[in-house]
Structures are given as C-alpha cells and as structure tokens.
Amino acid sequence: MENTDTSSTLDNIKQQIAENPILLYMKGSPKLPSCGFSAQAVQALMSCGEPFAYVDILQNPDIRAELPKHANWPTFPQLWVDGELVGGCDIILEMHQQNELQPLIKETAEKHKSEE
C-alpha cells in the first residue's frame, strides 16, 4: 500500500536524519551511483574512511519530492551530518579539497560510536 501522505514522508525523512549521523541522499547507491554528482559525493565520503548511510531517492520518489522543501536545498545529492544539512556535491567536494570534510566525518563517527 502506497502512502502518499506528505507528513509521513517528512516524519520518515526526519527519522532517517536523526538515526543516521552521516547520511547521503543520492541518486542510486554508493556502488552504483546513477548521476555524476552523486558519484563524486560518494567518492569524497568514502575517502574519509567512515561508514555512512544513504537513501536512494530514485527508489523513494516521495522523499525526492519532499526533501528539497524540508532541507531548503533544491538538488541532490545532499549530505546530512549530525542532523544538519552540510550541502550538495559542490560543497562536499570543496570541503574535501580543503580537508574540512574528513575531520567532520571522523568526529561525527567517533562521537556516535561512543554513544552506542
């Protein structure tokens, strides 16, 4: 049964963001990204060496429709760290080049490991 209720989609998004300290909303999967921007974002994230969660928005059209409004960010991929939107591909790559992404990802991963 398809639930097209917007509020449940938003609840779903909020829950995903709350439960996954490092979360990438992307097109496709890390192994098979289906857009160049998602592929680049995945590479940058993977090079940080910490596990991260992802949601394939192509499999979740409701999230694809709702997340840009919730995030106030129109495009994908979107990287969420610790419940905050970091940004899209350009920002991820820029942070990666300036060595700002790695410490952010590491600190977040460490923090949440110690909470488990």
CA separation for the pair 63, 26 (Å, rounded): 11
State yes or no: 48 annotated in a binding site: no
What does the chain look like in DSSP terms, one character per residue? -----HHHHHHHHHHHHHH-SEEEEESB-SSSBSSHHHHHHHHHHHTTT---EEEETTT-HHHHHHHHHHHT--SS-EEEETTEEEE-HHHHHHHHHTT-HHHHHHHHHHHHHHH-
Residue type at 58?
L
Q: Is 52 annotated as a binding residue?
A: no
pLDDT of residue 89: 97
CATH superfamily of 21-115: Glutaredoxin (3.40.30.10)
Instruction: Give the residue from 112, 115, 87, 111 showing the smallest Cα distance to 101.
Output: 87
| 19-33 pLDDT tens trace | 999 999 999 999 999
Query: Tens digits of per-residue pLDDT, 41-100?
Result: 999 999 999 999 999 999 999 999 999 999 999 999 999 999 999 999 999 999 999 999
The annotation status of 27 as a binding-site residue, yes or no, is yes
Name the amino acid, one letter, at 47: S
* pLDDT grade for 101, boundaries at 50, 70 and 90: very high
In this prediction the pTM is 0.92
State yes or no: 31 annotated in a binding site.
Answer: no
pLDDT band at 114; cut points 50, 70, 90: confident
Amino acid identity for residue 16 in this structure: Q
The answer to whether 69 is annotated as binding is no
**Please, is 102 exposed, middle or buried when counting C-beta atoms within 10 Å of its C-beta (0-12, 13-18, 19+)?**
middle
